[in-house]
Amino acid sequence: MATYSDPPAESFKLSQLINDTRYRSYTFQVIALIGIMLLLGYLISNLINNLQAAGLNISYQFLGEPAGYDINQRLIEYSSQSTHFTAAIVGVLNTLLVAVLGCAMATVIGVVVGVLRLSRNWLIRTLMSVYVEIFRNVPVLIWILIIMAVFTAVLPQPRDFRGANATASMVGDMFAFTGRGFYAPMPYFETGFAQGAAGWVVVLAVLVGSWLAARALGRWAARTQEATGQRPTTWYITAALWLVPLAVVLYVQGLAWEYPALKGFNFQGGIFARASLIALWFALSIYTAAFIAENVRAGILAISKGQTEAAASLGLRPNRIMNLVVLPQALRVIIPPLISQYLNLTKNSSLAIAVGYMDITGTLGGITLNQTGRAIECVLLLMLFYLTISLAISAVMNVYNNAVKLKER
């Protein structure tokens, strides 16, 4: 007589991998994984073999060699004697510049248009629909080219400002709008104790100080209101906190303006915003704004009508209902698709070469690639850059999304 105290030990059979539902999905996943790895291995080995057959190797040494070409828009020190790496950094900064400017402007236009699409005014509503449909349904490259073409064809060129019977003139001797770009006066410090960029750091420090002081004042006003029920009038103190220190520091440093003037072939002096930057920025902004407008509209429509009615019954006016009740809730719906629009805009900025804007695709992926012939290396670096930037934007926007999303306790 045997006693059975334990259940019989399960013996594992190979057929269970297919027939047993507990293991079946693992079996297929492992097979698929092996397949994917083999495919990747084949592609990589194919690349290496072909490179070897062609006598090429992967090397990043070229990044340390002099680039030899000039770049028109550079945010850091760069000359044709700088390295390819510096040229790539110049391109990265140009990409980031147009991406940041583009995202900011696209958001502003997109939110305004999205709200106006729901307006009760028939004309405004229809105009906004027309805008969205036109800009959303034509490729962004076409928009970039159209805007640049309009820019160069409509605006006068520097040669039109020249001579006795010039056909164009500067606006108030301060601004010049040419087909090559916009010129504006540039502020600088004449006598300051801190020269150049350091002078602006001082100004920035003063502004931060003003902001801290204004915030402290606001808190004090709020405390007073809570204690006494009366909110002290502070707006003139706030204005003074902002303006007086700023005026003093600007005066002490000797603020002066450098005006652009026609010298030789071009305007010289002042701030110069190139036509390529403006055209690219504008085209990317209005194109992406059309998509953002739809996101915003969808977000607003997702808020139940009861919210609006409840707010209205409390006596809020339509503007305040939108700002205080509807938009904050709508943001939860708007933010996730907005992230992809920012990513799209950043990646679309790689079309910059169409207007001769030297972004990273133009420097590293264009001229450097061509002059060195290191196509694979350059393209790998480009992919790495866009991947990093996109993931960084996603990360930042996800943090913001977590801050505004519905918090359930």
- Nearest residue (CB) to another protein, 136 versus 159: 159
For the CB of residue 394, give the shortest distance to another protein in the complex, in Å.
Answer: 30
For residue 147, the minimal CB distance to another protein (Å) is 14
The answer to whether the CB of 295 falls within 8 A of the CB of 110 is yes
CB of 338 to another protein, least distance (A): 32
CA 70 to chain CA centroid, nearest Å: 25
Q: Which is nearer to another protein, 180 or 297 (CB)?
A: 180
Residue closer to another protein, measured from CB, 65 or 190: 65
Query: What is the rounded distance in angstroms from the CA atom of residue 62 to the CA atom of residue 369?
Result: 10
Query: Residue 157 or 308: which CB sits closer to another protein?
Result: 157
Backbone dihedral region for residue 270 (phi beyond 0: left; psi -120 to 50: alpha; all else: beta): left
Mind spelling out the 3-state secondary structure of the chain?
Answer: CCCCCCCCCCCCCCCHHHHCHHHHHHHHHHHHHHHHHHHHHHHHHHHHHHHHHCCCCCCCHHHHCECCCCCCCCCCCCCCCCEHHHHHHHHHHHHHHHHHHHHHHHHHHHHHHHHHCCCCCHHHHHHHHHHHHHHHCCCHHHHHHHHHHHHHHHCCCHHHHCCCCCCCCCECCCEEEECCEEEECEEEECCCCCCCHHHHHHHHHHHHHHHHHHHHHHHHHHHHHHHHCCCCCCHHHHHHHHHHHHHHHHHHHCEEEECCEEECCEEECCEEEEHHHHHHHHHHHHHHHHHHHHHHHHHHHCCCHHHHHHHHHCCCCHHHHHHHHHHHHHHHHHHHHHHHHHHHHHHHHHHHHHHCCCCHHHHHHHHHHHHHCCHHHHHHHHHHHHHHHHHHHHHHHHHHHHHHCCCCC
Nearer to another protein, 80 or 191 (CB): 80
> Among residues 334 and 378, whose Cβ is nearest to another protein?
378
What is the nearest approach in angstroms of another protein to the Cβ of residue 197? 22
The least CB distance from residue 363 to another protein, in Å, is: 10
Give whichever of 87 and 249 is closer to another protein, judged by the CB atom. Answer: 87
Q: Least separation, in Å, of the C-beta of 281 and another protein?
A: 17
Distance in Å, CB of 269 to another protein, minimum: 12
- The nearest distance, CB 292 to another protein, in angstroms, is 30
Q: Which two tokens stand for residue 168?
A: 């164009």
Q: What is the CA radius of gyration of the chain?
A: 30
From CA 183, how far away is CA 94, in angstroms rounded?
19
Cβ distance to another protein smaller for residue 55 or 172 = 55
Residue with Cβ nearer another protein (49 or 119): 49
Min. distance of Cβ 288 from another protein in angstroms?
24
What is the distance of C-alpha 301 from the center of its chain?
A: 26
Would you tell me which residues interact with another protein (CB under 8 A)?
34, 38, 41-42, 45-46, 49-50, 52-56, 68-72, 79-81, 149, 152-153, 157-160, 179-180, 263-266, 268, 275-276, 353-354, 356, 358, 362, 366-367, 369-373, 375
Closer Cβ to another protein, 98 or 335, answer by number? 98
- In the complex, least distance from residue 174 CB atom to another protein, rounded to whole angstroms: 21
